[in-house]
Amino acid sequence: MAFWDKLKGELIDIIEWLDSTNDTMVYRFDRYNNEIKNGAKLIVRESQVAVFVNEGQFADTYQAGTHTLSTENMPILTTLKGWKYGFNSPFKAEVYFVSMRNFTDRKWGTKNPIMMRDADFGVVRVRAFGSYSIKIVDPTLFIKEIVGTDGNFTTDEVTDHLRNFVVSKFTDALGKSQIPVLDLAARYTELSYKIKDQIVLDFNAYGLELTSLLIENISLPPEVEQMMDKRTSMGILGNMDQYTKFQTANALEEMAKNPSGGGLSDGLGIGVGIGIANQFVNNQQQNVQQGNNMPPPPPAALAFFVAVNGQQTGPFDLNTLSQMIQKGQFQRNTYVWKAGMANWAEAAQVPELASVFANVPPPPPPM
């Protein structure tokens, strides 16, 4: 088997690399015993560079094109080999093909949250992630500093190392910027340029160029974002007292549609009442602890739902009901309901409505 490998290696006189991957950065050309014949053809494609290494020393470098290997176009290797009048027998050398294309969509992200001071929230923790692109600009330096003798070097082998550079510079830039958390989204591009400028020299030291760097997201912990959502909702609603009344009225209306439903409806009504009561008690306790001697809020006004032609209307307060009496729209035999009543009842049978009918004479006696 070794004989056929040797024979095959001697018959092959074309040195080339067809990259079938998207992540290979450096590839070492495999030849039997690393032997290359005089006059062999070296094919270097666009976005490639071929580097010859002789006994651990960098020799000639070839750009894109087809090259015939001879002493005329291999000056460094000719000197290293000590050839004076050319060579006729195969010689040993390693050939590394280096991909010079742009390697895009390299991901970076913070493994742990970054602590920072914020003008709005105090001390907060943030996470961030994004992407960057790199390309090799100095093949020999990259092989020397990163690749070594690796015959098939991919982007995965250097991603972690480069990501640490990005995260470190991002943390430093974010801390120095003193940009409020709520304003960071509008400053992603500015921060990206600052970080890129700080990392350029670090990447250049390995023969790499950082062609682009993007910040895709900077986020707060989930529990903080939930509180921000609640705060935003409160800001949209505005007056919380009006919102509470609105929610209570909706709950009462649903209960009124099914006064004898019991079960889930009653449980929901009780839950709403308990929630409002707890909120009121907590507010009162906070006011006492803070030395706030403001009087408690006045009791809620009475409001009744009124049945008109079999349809539920309202709720109406007592003043509105008095006006409806004057217009003939509300009478003693009109059915009404309010929170706390088991069923609908005639207005004359409800004690709270006695004052409404105080100035209204009863029906005249029969003839």
Beta bridge partners of 58: 53
Three-state DSSP class for residue 313: strand
> Band of the pLDDT at 318, cuts 50, 70, 90?
confident
Q: Which CATH architecture has domain 304-353?
A: 2-Layer Sandwich (3.30)
Q: Which of 55, 49, 40 is nearest to 17 (CA)?
A: 49
What's the chain's Rg over C-alpha atoms?
42
> Band of the pLDDT at 204, cuts 50, 70, 90?
very high
Provide the b/e sequence for 139-156 (b: ≥16 CB within 10 Å).
bbbbbeebbeeeeebbbe
Q: In this predicted structure, what is the pLDDT of residue 175?
A: 84
Give the chain's mean pLDDT.
80
- pLDDT tens digits, 207-260: 999 999 999 999 888 887 777 777 666 666 555 666 666 667 767 777 666 655
Return the number of other C-beta atoms located less than 10 Å from residue 160's C-beta. 9
Domain 103-223 top-level CATH class = alpha beta
The domains of the chain are located at 2-99, 103-223, 239-286, 304-353
DSSP, res 30:
P
Q: Which residue has the tokens 């190392």?
A: 161
> Band of the pLDDT at 331, cuts 50, 70, 90?
confident
Tokens of 48: 């490639």
